[in-house]
Amino acid sequence: MSFIKGQIRKALSGFYYIYSDGETYQTRARGNFRNRQITPLVGDEVIFESSSLTDGYLLEIMPRENELVRPPVANVDQGVVVTSLVEPDFSYNLLDRFLVTLENKGIEPIIYLSKTDLDPTNPLIKEVKQVYEAIGYTVIIPKKEQEVTELERQFPERVTVFMGQSGAGKSTLLNRLAPHLALETAEISEALGRGKHTTRHVELLPIYDGLVADTPGFSAIEFLEIQAVDLPKEFPEFVKAAPFCKFRECKHDKEPSCEVKRRVETKEIAQTRYENYKQFLQEIENKRPVYKKKK
């Protein structure tokens, strides 16, 4: 049997469905993955062997660019952060949490502001676009007729995940992009004011010459993997300002002659971004260290 290169597109009930040269192979993982405490993920580039489309073995996982825990996907190129204008109300804090997490993983964020049709004259629409485009992020504000076209352009040759607060309309948007998926949409539960989880396994689906995870990602974010010293690096506008700070490892908090603080005062850096940065920094610094138990 020859070794074949491919990509895991779906993982279900212990089987890994690997795509290679126009075919999908059903495989099982060799036992040594468990011994090495490696879990193959959807999105992994792999080497496998196969005697038929339904009988193969996953042998090796190539080095990953990145990996997410929710949804469990590897080698993600971009994350579409679906954030709603109303119902639930827009939150700079929540949006910045997603952006920081994506930056930390080396995933390019795309901001998609949903439910703008419910309050089309809201001044926040223009403000959000200005704040985040100035940083260099792609911001999509849908207009009825072209609401998906602008997003479609982002997909070719990339692996994309959708994420955002519960009830922001992630599943609805995915359904609109690819009606044949007919993903279950979660209505906002009126009593709880947040969406119900409806997604089960993860699959990468070919859409518009790219691949999209059919499972929307996390809706609440804690900075479990980010160190305080790394946080400033996850704000692109701080990275640009940092070389002009007096101190090389400036945390942009209490230090004198800080260029980030100067730019906040001159409105070159958004006040909301800086306030959220300080809050995130405090959260990370107040975290108690987690000691893993020895097996």
Annotated binding-site residue numbers for GTP: 114-117, 164-172
In angstroms, the CA 123 to CA 212 distance is: 32
Return the residue matching tokens 């895991």. Answer: 8
In angstroms, the CA 188 to CA 48 distance is: 42
Q: How large is the angle between the packed helices 92-105 and 271-286, nearest 10 degrees?
A: 70
Return the residue matching tokens 């044949």. Answer: 180
Which residue numbers belong to the known binding site for Zn(2+)?
245, 250, 252, 258
**Strands of 167-222, DSSP E:** 188-189, 194-195, 204-207, 210-213
Nearest to residue 105, comparing CAs of 79, 70, 66, 69? Answer: 66
| Alpha helices, DSSP H, located in the chain | 32-35, 92-105, 124-135, 149-152, 170-177, 236-241, 259-265, 271-286
Residue type, 289: P
Distances (CA, A) of 30 to 3, 37, 38: 14, 12, 11
Which residues on adjacent β-strands are paired with residue 213?
A: 204
Return the residue matching tokens 């975290």. Answer: 287
Which residue numbers belong to the known binding site?
114-117, 164-172, 245, 250, 252, 258
| Alpha helices, DSSP H, located in 178-265 | 236-241, 259-265
